[in-house]
Every structure is written in C-alpha cells, then in structure tokens.
A and B are shown apart, each in its own frame.
Chain A
Amino acid sequence: MRQKITKYLPLLALIGVFFMNSGFAQDLMMVRSKQAFPEAMTDLQNAIIKHGYKISRIQRVDIGLTKAKYKTDKYRVVFFGKQDEIEKISRDYPDIIAYLPLKISIFAEGEQTLIVGMNPEKLSEFYPQAGLQLYFKRWKHDYQSIFDGLVK
C-alpha cells in the first residue's frame, strides 16, 4: 500500500500544483481597479508595454459617443501586439486576422475603473491549429498578469 502511494506521489503532486494555480477563468476576463480612470488607463498601458507588447492604437469610444450627443463615461479600447507575432500569425493563419491585434477595453464606473478582455485561451476553441496554441497560452498568461497588476 505504502509502495503504491509512493509510486503515485509525483502524479498526485502534479495534480495538486495544477489545482493550486487553477482559477475560475471565465471566457471574459474582467477586473475592477479602485483607481480612477486616468490612473488605471496609465497603469494598463504601462503593464501592456512591460509585457513586451506595443500599443498600436487607443480607440476613444466615449469621444465618438459624446460628439454624437450621447451621454457616456470614459470608455477606451486599447489595441496592442508584437510586430513579429502579428505578421507571422496573420500570414500563416489568415482566418484569425479578424481577432488581431489584441485588445482590452477599459471604462470608468464612478470613481473606479473596469477592465475587460476576452480570455485568449478561448481562441483555441475557435482555432485548434497546433501552431497557434502556444501563442494563446502565453497571451492568456500575459493577460492574467496584466489584469492582476491592475487590481489595486
């Protein structure tokens, strides 16, 4: 019996480690920052850059709405990516092009700020090609790290 337990110990440990790190990741990743919008926006941009991405554009959704005479709070969409990755993926797997570059939306909720993104691992359900899976996993990891850093 003791031998059997010892035999399966490494497996049990691996299972344990898996569950230790498993969250309850939904298809949408969402965090609340206690900071007001301008500070949270700055932090988001810095976090994206810190993770090795370049911000390609910031879409000011609220500006467009305000110009069209609608009432709105601050709402932006941040587009980002890595040049080599975007070029390689869009060339080798053009069907994923509509999902590139990556994006995270950020909007004010009173004195706090909400940040939302699609869990990049969801893309593996859409695009099961083996060559893409490592990208999805890393993006998910980076999103998680970026989002975790914004909870303050």
Chain B
Amino acid sequence: MNRISFNTKMLAMVLLLISVGGVYAGINGKSLYQHNCAACHGDGGKGGVGVPLGLESFQVTISDSYLFSTIRNGRPGRVMPAFKRMSDAQIDAIIKYVRRFVKSSKKSIRVTYSSKSIKGDIKAGAKIYKKNCAACHGANGEGGKGTGVTFSRPRDLPIIAPALANSGFLKSASDSMIKQTLVKGRKGTPMVSFLQKGLKMKDIDNVVAYIRSFEKLAAANEKKLLHDAKEKNLSPVIKVRSEYDLKTTVANLQKAVAASNYKLIRTQYLNQGLVEKGKENKKQVILYFCNFNQLNTALAIDPRVGLFLPCRLTVAETKDGVFIYAVNSSRLSQLYNNAELSKICGAMRVTYMAIIEEATL
C-alpha cells in the first residue's frame, strides 16, 4: 500500500515538474505571438487581417501599457479579440517580442504617457474632427470598413482607420497618446501630422477632448454587442418543417433560391464524396447557392468568412417528416467579433427565412 502511495506521489511530482516546465516554456514571446497573433498581424508584424505592428511610426507613438490593454481588452466588435485568459507575464512577453520588430537607431523606442486627461473644448473639437478626421475614422468614430486585408481594395494600404468610439481603444489609449498621434501622425499610413497640416496645439487638445467624449457612445456600442452576444437562446440552426415530400421541397427551394437573386451552384447529397458513388443517403440533400456581389462584400468586411460559404440549405427526411435546415448566421457571426459582419449575417438570416418560407408555403 505504502509502495503504491509512494509511486503515486512520485508520478504526481514528475507531472507537476513537467507542467511547471511547460508553463515556464509557455512564457516565450515569440512562441506566444506565433500561436495567438501572427495569423492576423503577420510574421514580423507585417500586418494582414490585423494592423501592421511592425510599422515604426506606430511603435514610436504607442506605449507598452497601450499594447497591454489592447491585448487584454481587445476591440469589441472590431475583430481583435480580448485575451482574458492570458497571464500578465505572457502579455508582457508578447509585447517584448513585438518591440523587436522595429530596429530603431534610438536605444529604446518605448514611450510612456501621462494618464492625465487633456482639457479641451468638445464642441470646437467636434467641428475640427468632422472636417479632418471623420472621412477615415467615421462620423461617429466607428472606424474604417473592413479588416487589414480584403479582396476589394489595394494591398498597399497597410491599415484601416481604427474605431475611436470603441471601449477597447478608449481604455487603452491615454489622452496624451491620442494627442501625440495627432501631432506626429503615422508615417506609412494615411494618418498625417495635423500639426504640420496647420492645426494648433489648442485645436489638437480640443479634438482629443472630443474623442474622449466618445466614451458614452463606446459604452453603448459595447452594451449592444454584449446584448447581441447574450442572445444565447438564439438557436444555432434554422429548422423549418416542410409539408411537401423531400423531392418537392428540394424543387421548391431551387425555385425560391433563383427567385431571390441567388445562383444555384449545385444540389448534392450530404454524404456525397464520402461514400461510393450511388450509395449516398438520398434522404439528405444539400443545396449550395451564392450571390457573388454579396459574397464579395462579405469578404471585404472579413476575409475569414469562409465558414458561411457557400450559402446552403439542407433538406432531410426524418422519421418525423421533412425538414429544412440552415446555419443560423446571426448566431455563428458572434464568433467573429465583427459588428459589420454581424449586420450582413443578420440580413442573410432574413434571406434564408424568406427562401424557406417561399418554398414551404
């Protein structure tokens, strides 16, 4: 008994040591970056779906605390997820690694900013913002459309204007940092130096105060997103019973798809391609269809949208009758943290419902 107990303890000790080693090995900025960030931000921070972290003009105007808060809180509704489960040490390691992307002639490119708020005239700032910033950052600070890489715009633009009315951004960026960005601009991006463009320091303070006033709007935006995400009772699937037999239901759907301005790509069995030809389950039929204009728009907003592709309805004959199934795009869109995409997915859900309704009338 003692022997077994001793062995168990030894095994536990070994496992513990291995695990501690694993955690220790886990705090490796490069490895953490490659596993959690590189897919979007690119190797060496070249950018992609995410912003180019390796841009020198970006790095010289952001503080470590800005990066830390960005990783921790993400950008609600703007693709960048919040890494809530990462330890502080792991985030620090990523930051340290990201800082190595820029080989500056200066000893250190790291900047720190005061957390003091900058006072300014919000109304005056709003006027300046409307004239100089709204074209890129949106009339209400909603940011540019799309992600870093899209199919619909040239790839020589390295960055999409960030959303300023975003709780993640406002939590991360201090007034001083926003001011510095306005003063210096970001070389290599469309963000110019507004000091060089003729604004005075007082004007810039007013713009900072106006951007800070987005906090209420940002909180409301986040609340809406959380509310949408809380719709956990939304079924992951749209399921409608058809009063027709399977063959008629499929034919009706084909007509309804065409009538809704979609191109029917193909009709096939669910297990087609997985089983020998001729042995497919004829009681499970998939219709694939597409509207290429809609597809192009969706890809421009988020190139990761492949999970929805192509549009699809499935008809199955079960012991309880014939049913039509579709992925509930409103539910699935919650995976993307992309408010723009969620809107399109909401519309897609309505379209699916209309097609199904037409086919089952």
Given A24-B83, A61-B295, A86-B274, the answer on whether A94 and B281 have CB atoms closer than 8 Å is: no
8 closest A-B pairs by beta carbon, nearest first, are A105-B306, A16-B19, A56-B273, A20-B22, A126-B236, A68-B292, A13-B15, A27-B335
* Interface residue? A36 (CB, 8 A): no
Report A-chain residues with C-beta under 8 Å of the C-beta of B26.
20
**Alpha-carbon distance between A68 and B261 when the two chains are bound, in angstroms:** 14
Expressed in whole angstroms, the minimum distance between the Cβ of B304 and any Cβ of chain A is 5
* Residue ranges of B at the interface with A (Cβ–Cβ < 8 Å): 8-9, 11-13, 15-16, 18-23, 26, 34-36, 38-40, 42-43, 48-49, 81, 83, 85-86, 149, 151-152, 155, 232, 236-239, 265, 268, 270-275, 281, 284, 288, 290, 292-293, 295-296, 299, 303-304, 306-307, 309-310, 312, 314, 316, 318, 323, 325-327, 331-332, 334-336
- Chain B contact surface mostly: mixed
A94/B316 in contact, CB under 8 A: yes
Besides A13-B16, A27-B334, A99-B237, 10 other A-B contacts (C-beta < 8 A): A9-B13, A19-B23, A24-B85, A28-B304, A56-B274, A82-B274, A87-B271, A107-B303, A110-B155, A112-B42
A112 nearest CB across to chain B (Å): 8
Chain B residues whose C-beta falls within 8 Å of the C-beta of A81 in the assembled complex: 271, 274
A54 CB–B CB distance under 8 Å: yes
Question: Which partner residue on chain B sits nearest A100 by CB separation?
Answer: B270
Chain A residues near B314 (CB-CB < 8 A): 97-98
CA distance A31 to B11 in the complex (A): 35
Q: Mark A33-69, 1 if CB is under 8 A from B, else 0.
A: 0100000000000000000001111010100110010
Give the size category of A's interface with B.
35 or more
- B-contacting residues, A121-152, CB 8 Å: 122-123, 125-127, 151
Chain B's closest residue to A68 (CB) is B292
Task: For the complex formed, measure the closest distance between the CB of A39 and the CB atoms of chain B, giving whole angstroms.
Answer: 16
Are the C-beta atoms of B12 and A12 separated by less than 8 Å? yes
- A127 vs B325: C-alpha distance in the bound complex, in angstroms? 15
Q: In the complex, A17→B11 CA distance in Å? A: 12
B119 to chain A, nearest CB (A): 39
Q: Which A residues are CB-close (under 8 A) to B326?
A: 98
Q: By the criterion CB–CB under 8 Å, are B274 and A54 in contact? A: yes
B34 to chain A, nearest CB (A): 7
Across the interface, do A21 and B22 meet the contact criterion of CB distance under 8 Å? yes
Give chain A's interface secondary structure class: mixed
Within 8 A of B (CB), among A70-106: 70-73, 75, 77, 79, 81-83, 86-87, 90, 94-101, 103-106
- The smallest C-beta distance from A18 to any residue of chain B, in angstroms, reads 8
- Least CB separation from A26: chain B residue: B81
Q: How far is the CA of A5 from the CA of B271 in the complex (A)?
A: 54
Pair A13/B13 contact, Cβ less than 8 Å:
yes
Q: Are B323 and A87 in contact (CB under 8 A)?
A: no
**Distance in Å from the Cβ of A78 to the closest Cβ of chain B?**
9
Are B307 and A9 in contact, CB atoms less than 8 angstroms apart? Answer: no
Bound form: Cα–Cα A31–B85 in Å: 19
The smallest C-beta distance from A17 to any residue of chain B, in angstroms, reads: 5
**Closest CB of chain B to A51's CB: distance in Å?**
15
A-B contact pairs, 21 of them (CB 8 A): A20-B23, A24-B85, A27-B334, A32-B39, A54-B274, A65-B295, A68-B293, A71-B152, A83-B274, A86-B274, A87-B271, A94-B323, A97-B314, A97-B325, A98-B326, A101-B270, A105-B309, A109-B48, A110-B155, A114-B304, A126-B237
Task: Indicate if the CB atoms of B43 and A32 lie closer than 8 Å.
Answer: yes
| Cβ contacts under 8 Å, A127 to chain B | 236
**Which listed residue (A10, A12, A72) contacts B8, Cβ 8 A?**
A10
Residue contact B48 to A114, C-beta cutoff 8 Å: yes
Whether the Cβ atoms of B290 and A64 lie closer than 8 Å is yes
Q: Is the CB of B22 within 8 A of A87?
A: no
Verify B292–A20 contact, CB threshold 8 A: no
Q: A87–B236 Cα gap in the complex (Å)?
A: 20
Give the chain B neighbours of A100 by CB distance below 8 A: 270
Contact status B81-A94, CB under 8 Å? no
B85: A residues at CB distance < 8 A: 22, 24
Supposing A6-B9, A16-B20, A20-B26 touch, asked if A116 and B307 sit within 8 A by C-beta, the answer is yes
Cβ contacts under 8 Å, B292 to chain A = 64-65, 68, 70
Chain B residues with Cβ below 8 Å from A26 are 81
Chain A residue at smallest Cβ distance from B32: A24
A21 to B85, CA, bound (A): 13
The answer, among B39, B265, B275, for a CB contact under 8 Å with A64, is B265
> Which residue among B293, B307, B332 has the maximum number of chain A CB atoms within 10 Å of its CB?
B307
